[in-house]
Amino acid sequence: MTERLYYDDAYLTEFDARVVECVPDGESYRLRLDRSAFYPTSGGQPHDTGTLNDAHVLDVLVGEDGDVWHIADAPLAAGEAAHGKIDWPRRFDHMQQHAGDHMIASALWRLLGGVTIGLHVSHDVSTIDVAMPEGVTRISPEDIRRVEADVNERIQRDVPIRCWFPDPEALKTLPLRKPPTVSEHVRVVAIGTDEMVACGGTHPATAGQLGLVKVLGVAPARGKMRVSFVAGMRAFRDYQSMYDRAHEAAALLSTSTDNLAAHVAALQEALKEANMALNRLRRDAALRELEGMLETAPRTPGGATVIARMLEGDANLIKDAASQLIRRPGVVALLGARVNEDHAVFVFARSSDVDIHMGRLLSDAAKPLGGKGGGRPDFAQGGGPVEILSEAERRLNTDLSSCAR
C-alpha cells in the first residue's frame, strides 16, 4: 500500500519515490508509487496537483485496496525513480479551507448543537452541510456572528492544530465531536482544546495560519443547513472585492460606506414612488388610447366592439385597462403586455351584455401555441407567445359559436 507522506508532514512539497505500476487510461496514465505526498480526493477535500518528473499530475485518487493512484499526462516506467513536486498554493489553500471547516463545525456544535455531515471545497467557495436540532435549516444573523467570532477568536490566539494516529485504546478515551467513519487506522485532528474529530485531510500546524474565516451565507439544502464560507487568502480576496465594490458604490452616490445602506434605501423608496407614478401615467395613456379606438374598432358579427392590443406595462395595467373598458356596454377587450420579445401575459374581458366566453376563448387560443390560460365567462388571464392575441382575434371573428356560453 502507498505510504502517504502528507500524514506526517502536510508541508512537504517535494519527495522522491519509485514507480510501482503504470497503466494507460485513455489519453492519460494511472501511476502507482511506493510513497507519495500527493493528497487524493477524499473527505470533501480536492486532490493535489503538481508533477512527477516531467509528467503533470492531473488527478489523484484512492483505489479500493487503499493505494494512491496518480492520473498523469505522460507515462513513467515501472521501477523508475520519480521526483514529485506539489502545487503548494493549491495544497495550502485546501489546508486552510479544511481547517476552517473543522472550526466552523466545532462552533456550530458547541454553540447551537449542529452536527456537520459533509464538506465540499470548490475552487472559490467551501460549503458544509449541517443537521441542526429540530430540523432547522437557517440560523439568525446574530448566530452567524457568534459562530464567526468564535472561530476567528481562536485564529487570533493561534491555537495549535495536531494530527496523529492514536492507538485503539487511547482512541476510546478521546472526546471526539462525532464517531469515526472507519474502524482501523483512525487519524485524529485536534484544534485547540475544544475541537477533536477523526479526519484524514491536510491542515496547517496552527489556526493562525488561516488568517481569517468568513461565513458567506446559510441556506436550506436537501433538508439540512448549508453553510458557505471562505478561509485564508480566499477570505482576504473576498474582503478586497467587497471593499472595492462598497467604495465604488459610495463614490457613485457621493456618500461614505457608513451611509451607503441608508442612501440605497432612500433610492429604493424614490424608485418605488417613481414607478408608481410611471404606472399611473401608463395607465392613463393606455386608457386614452383604447377609448379612442372604440369608434373605429372592428365588431363581431353580433355587434360587439373588439379592442385587441398589446400594451406597454404589466399584468396589473392590462387588468385595470380591461376593467375600465368593459364598464361600457358591448365591448370585448383582448389585452396583452410583453414579458420579453416573444412572450406576454394576457387579460381577456367582456361587458356583461356580450355573450362570449372569455375563459374558453383564451384557452383555445393559447393551447395550440404552447401557452396557458383560462377563467370565467367574463374575465380570463393567461400567458405565452405573443401570437396568442392574433389567434384569439381570428377565432373570435370566424368561430364565435365555440365561445358562446
Higher per-residue confidence, 402 vs 365: 365
**What is the distance between the alpha carbons of residues 194 and 159, in angstroms, rounded to a whole number?**
10
Specify the pLDDT at position 399: 57
Q: In which band, very low, low, confident or very high, does the pLDDT at 232 lie, cut at 50, 70 and 90?
A: very high
Give the pLDDT of residue 405: 43
Distance, in Å, from the CA atom of 368 to the CA atom of 380, rounded to the nearest integer, reads 17
pLDDT reading at 398 higher than 80? no
Question: What CATH fold (topology level) applies to the domain 92-241?
Answer: Threonyl-tRNA Synthetase; Chain A, domain 2 (3.30.980)
Q: Is the pLDDT of residue 77 over 90?
A: yes
Lowest mean pLDDT among 143-157, 270-284, 362-376, 391-405: 391-405
- The confidence band for 46, taking pLDDT boundaries of 50, 70 and 90, is very high
The confidence score (pLDDT) of residue 55 equals 97
- pLDDT > 90: percent of the chain: 83
Residue-averaged pLDDT of the chain? 93
Backbone angles phi, psi at 41, to 5 degrees: -55, 125
Q: Which of 382, 342, 345, 344 is nearest to 361 (CA)?
A: 382
Segments making up each domain of the chain, as ranges: 3-86, 92-241, 283-403
Q: What DSSP line would sit under 118-179, residue for residue?
A: EEEE-SS-EEEEEE-GGG-----HHHHHHHHHHHHHHHHTT-BEEEE---HHHHHHS--SS-
Query: Mean of the pLDDT values across residues 354-362?
Result: 94
Please state, in angstroms and as integers, the Cα–Cα distance from residue 160 to each residue in 57, 166, 214, 230, following that order. 32, 17, 20, 20
Would the pLDDT of 1 be above 90? no
Q: Does residue 228 surpass a pLDDT of 60? A: yes
Element (H, E) at 70: strand 68-72
pLDDT tens digits along 287-343: 888 888 888 888 887 788 999 999 888 898 899 999 999 999 999 999 999 999 899
Amino acid 401: pLDDT: 42
The pLDDT tens digits for 250-263 are 999 999 999 999 99
What DSSP string runs through 252-281? HTTS-GGGHHHHHHHHHHHHHHHHHHHHHH
Top-level class of domain 283-403: alpha beta
- Percent of the chain residues past pLDDT 70, beyond the cut: 98
pLDDT above 50 (res 22): yes
Distance (Å, rounded) from C-alpha 177 to C-alpha 169?
A: 17
Please compute the mean of the pLDDT values over residues 49-78 and round it to a whole number: 95
- pLDDT, residue 402, reads 43
pLDDT at 68 over 70: yes
Q: Does residue 207 have a pLDDT over 90?
A: yes
Element containing residue 86 per DSSP (H, E): strand 81-86
If one looks up domain 3-86 in CATH, what number appears?
A: 2.40.30.130
Distance CA 319, CA 346 (A): 9
